Amino acid sequence: MRRPNPLLPRLCAALFLLMAPMASSQTLSVQPLNVVGTVSPADWEAYRSRFVEDNGRVVDTANGNISHSEGQGYGLLLALAAADRSSFEQIWNFTFTELLIRDDGLAAWKWDPAAKPRVTDRNNATDGDLLIAYALAKAGAAWQEPRYTTAAQKLARAIGKTTFARNGQSLTLLPGAHGFGASDRPDGPVVNLSYWVFEAFPVMAALAPEYEWNRVWRDGVMLLQQTISGRVRLPADWISLHNGLQPQPADGFPPEFGYNSLRIPLYLLRAGMTDMEWLRALRQRWSADNEGVAVVNVVTGQIRERLTDQGYAILPAALACALDGTPVPEALKTFEPTLYYPSTLYLLAKSLLGEKYPQCVSSAVP
C-alpha cells in the first residue's frame, strides 16, 4: 500500500504564493497543468518510436544523434503526458545511470554514442535539470511513486544550491554550474531566458522551499520585460547581465532570438501566463501576414532563417488559440514527426491545447 505523498500540501501552498501579484508592471500567475493523459497514444508512439531508444535514451536527431539532459527531461514529461509508465521508467533509468553522475546532484548535460567515455561534457544544463525534476515530481504525485518524488526533491535542492546567483538586487538562474557566472567570463553573468521553465517553479518551491524559487521566477519575468523593451522587442538567446547594466546580447554568441528563445512563449502559455502584452505583439509578428516564426537578429531586426516545420508552426497557432480562441488549422492537428526538437515542441504545444483549450483542436463541426 502506497502512502499519501507528503509533498502535495506543499505543492498547493507554493502554487498559492506564486499566484500572488508580482513586482512587475502586470499581474502574473502560474496555473498548474495536469499533464497526464494530454498526449494521445498514437502521437506518443510516433514520437517514441522515432526518438526514444529501448534503453530510454532520447535521441537528438539533428545534433549528431547525441542525448542531453534537456531531451531526457522532455522525454519524461511526454511519457507522463501519454500515461506511459513503462517508457517513463526506461527514460528515467537511462537518465539516472548515465547522466546523474555529478557530485553536486545535477545531471551532466551531454552524452555522445560515438565517444568514449559517452559523457563528453560534465557541466549541467539547468533547463534539463528543471525538466527532469518537474517530470519526476508530477509522476510521483500522479502515480503515487515516492521514489520519483524523492529523486525530484534531491534534484530541486541541487538546482537551488548550485545555479541560483545574485546579481545586484536580482536573483538569477545560471544556465550551468560552470562557465556563466560573474567570475567565469568578462561579461558574466550570462543567462538564457528559455531556461526558466515557468510551470515548474511552483513544484520546485514545494520540493525545496529553502530556496527562493518565487524570487527567481519573478526576476526572470522582469528580465524578460527588460529584454523586450527595445526596438526589435525580442530577447536574445544568450544575455549578458554584466555589472547590473541594461541586458545585452552576450559575447561569443549570435545576437539572435533563435531556437532557444522561441520556446519562451510556449513556456509562458503552459504556465497560464497569458496576460503578458508581449505575447500579443509576438502573435501578430508570427502571423502568416508577417514574418512568421523566425531566427531574428535582435540588434538589426534582420531575419536569418524562417522556421516552417510543423513544430514551429504550431507555436503561433497556440498563441492565437490562447489569446483569441482561434481554432488551430487542420494541417496542424495531425502529428508528423520530423526532427527531435520541433517534434518535441509540437507535442508540448498540443498537450497544452488539449488540456486547456480543447475547443481549438476539436475536429467536431460546430
Question: How many C-beta atoms surround the C-beta of residue 352 within 10 A?
Answer: 24
Q: Is 271 helix (H, G, I), strand (E, B) or coil?
A: coil
Residue among 15, 10, 352 at smallest CA distance from 217: 15
Return the beta strands (E) in the chain as ranges: 67-68, 110-111, 119-121, 164-167, 170-173, 190-191, 239-240, 248-249, 256-257, 294-297, 303-306
User: Looking at this protein, which amino acid is placed at residue 359?
Assistant: Q
At CA 36, angle to CA 30 and CA 40, rounded to 5?
120
- The catalytic residues are 70, 127
Q: Which residues pair with 123 in a beta bridge?
A: none
Residue among 193, 205, 190 at smallest CA distance from 276: 193
**What is d(CA 262, CA 194) in angstroms, rounded to the nearest whole number?**
8
**What is d(CA 164, CA 171) in angstroms, rounded to the nearest whole number?**
7
Look-up of cell digits 509578428: 285
Q: Which three cell numbers stand for residue 70?
A: 534537456
Residues 6+ apart with CB under 8 A from 81: 35, 36, 37, 38, 39, 44, 347, 351
**What is d(CA 301, CA 298) in angstroms, rounded to the nearest whole number?**
5
